[in-house]
Chains A and B, each alone.
Chain A
């Protein structure tokens, strides 16, 4: 959108200066030609000035018209008709003005009559050029505004979608947690209070994270820990976790709430696809400038559906990564000996679509 960078007022100034210079040269040329054909200097000047002022005025009129009415269909006929009519009007006006000035000079008047066709031809060319140029200019402006609007709309839609993906909170999780709290209230009120605290912190996290879109991995891990603690109260001994992150990953940045759905997915499939104790492994390392996080959960190959693509509930995470980085290769899944491993590679912030 390079054109939009130049302010409107400057465009106007440039246009009028060019327009003025152009017509001055044109008038000068006409005066010189007339003098060559033996018209006296004063008449040649008057003729040149009057006809070109009128012609310039007509051109401005045509350009201005185009601003308010841009033909969508039959553009070429429109140009032809406008040019034809305006040239005719201009010719009439010039003839009348010059006649009013020099009606007493039959020699000049007859040379004026003789040059009518050539004058008309020149006017036709000039007005035609102006009409076509202004038509092109305004059409381009319109298209630019159109495409700008489209870009704006796409950006808004993308942001809205990202927001939605970020906020996806499983109602299951919330209601089951509330049920656990309800159960604890009777026998272990202290524990119940503690869990309310954790759940509140977790919910506050989901609300807060909407504003700040990138956080440090350390913060995200704390948030994850909160989530895991709540899940551990729910599932008791069945859920074990093992977090192993390299020191230099902690200060790396990532889009907020990106990992929680990944872990939620792992817990869901780990706990609902197998029986007995389940350990979820979370590990992180720095690979080039990328933050690589792996989440591992057990699964039962014989009963889970043959995977289509990455399968499971990972599609929304994939979508989010695509919206953020325009890439589809950042999420990978592996199956190794009854273990399902999801690996997410997070590029540095400057590679995202929003910075």
Chain B
């Protein structure tokens, strides 16, 4: 069984390695300092299990998992992360609160064998929705990881299983639903004006009537986007017109 440990504190990784010594069938194939190394290592080694810290440099543990297409089983290790813990509890996933004992560690390992793998995605979604960390979006761009502060997002457009994120620097894709972004982005700043569009309210310059019951919104960037009837009433509410 292949294991990767991802934690920015060397001593914390050492601790997990030490506890793993009593599991002869497990081998630690790599240790990572941060999420970037983590993604690379996961793609390279395809581990069966990862130990993942949440607070890490640049991107946190959840953001890293979002970018992994087929995540392995995860045991989260964290010192104190109120929101995250709520997310784990909601999905009955196991997590280790630092510092943890060998007994607690063994229990998590036992539990692992009974647990189904497909819950990881759901945990990540719940955690991302409830963390205060929603002021940025992390995407993969040609194999590179890109962090986009939400203020730099112009609008979002639905594209089948993906959502297109349009910024001044270019368009990025992320495998999420429009509903997910509608829920996680700050509601006063990002408005879902249409089934397929969420716009940055800061950039609105004009709203023109279009065919019956619908409008067109013009952004400062020059983009013209459709506004549905429901979207128009939302716009009126938020902009106070």
Interface residues of A (CB under 8 A from B): 171-172, 175-176, 178-184, 186-187, 233-236, 238, 271-275, 300, 302-306
Contacts and interface: CB of A to CB of B under 8 A. Distances in A.
B185 interface: no
Nearest to B146: A303
A178 B99 contact: yes
A306 B58 CA distance: 16
A234 B34 CA distance: 15
B92 interface: no
Interface string B33-50: 110100000000000000
Contacts of B79: 171-172, 175-176, 179
Interface stretch (B11-19, B108-116, B219-227): B11-19
A271 B57 contact: yes
A183 B14 contact: yes
B180 interface: no
B61 to A, nearest CB: 12
B14 A179 contact: no
A197 B151 CA distance: 45
Nearest to B16: A183
A180 B11 CA distance: 5
A278 B37 CA distance: 18
A183 B149 contact: no
A273 B135 contact: no
A112 B227 CA distance: 98
11 contacts: A175-B79, A179-B79, A182-B15, A186-B18, A236-B9, A271-B8, A272-B57, A273-B57, A275-B34, A275-B58, A303-B136
A275 B12 contact: no
Contacts of B55: 172, 272
Contacts of B11: 179-180, 183-184, 233-234, 236
Nearest to B58: A275
Contacts of A238: 8, 33
B10 to A, nearest CB: 5
A236 B12 CA distance: 11
A178 B136 contact: no
A156 B89 CA distance: 41
Contacts of A303: 58, 136, 147, 149
A305 B56 CA distance: 17
Contacts, number: 79
Nearest to B56: A272
The range of chain B's interface size is: 20 to 34
B80 interface: yes
A299 to B, nearest CB: 11
A235 B99 CA distance: 16
List 5 tightest A-B contacts by C-beta distance, closest first: A183-B15, A175-B79, A179-B98, A182-B99, A183-B11
Given A175-B99, A275-B34, 11 more contacts: A172-B55, A175-B79, A179-B100, A180-B12, A181-B99, A235-B8, A238-B8, A275-B33, A275-B57, A300-B58, A305-B151
Interface centre among B18, B98, B136, B147 (most CB of A within 10 A): B98
Interface of B: 8-12, 14-15, 18, 33-34, 36, 55-58, 79-80, 97-100, 135-136, 147, 149, 151
A302 B36 CA distance: 17
Contacts of A304: 149
Given A175-B98, A179-B98, A187-B18, A272 B9 contact: no
Contact of B9 (A235, A305, A306): A235
Nearest to B37: A275
A40 B99 CA distance: 105
Contact of B15 (A179, A302, A305): A179
B57 A176 contact: no
Contacts of B34: 275
Contacts of B151: 305-306
A236 B151 CA distance: 34
A171 B98 CA distance: 11
B12 A305 contact: no
A201 to B, nearest CB: 19
Contacts of A302: 147
A302 to B, nearest CB: 8
Nearest to B169: A302
Nearest to A237: B10
Nearest to B21: A186
Interface centre among A175, A178, A183, A233 (most CB of B within 10 A): A183
A305 B147 CA distance: 10
Contact of B98 (A178, A186, A233, A300): A178
B57 A274 contact: yes
Contacts of A273: 57-58
Contacts of B58: 272-275, 300, 303
Nearest to B77: A179
A183 B18 contact: yes
A184 B36 CA distance: 27
Given A272-B55, A303-B136, A306-B149, A171 B80 contact: yes
Contacts of B57: 271-275
Given A272-B57, A273-B57, A305-B136, A176 B12 contact: yes
A308 to B, nearest CB: 10
A274 B58 CA distance: 6
Contacts of A187: 14, 18
Contacts of B15: 179, 182-183, 186
A178 to B, nearest CB: 5
Contacts of B9: 176, 179-180, 234-236
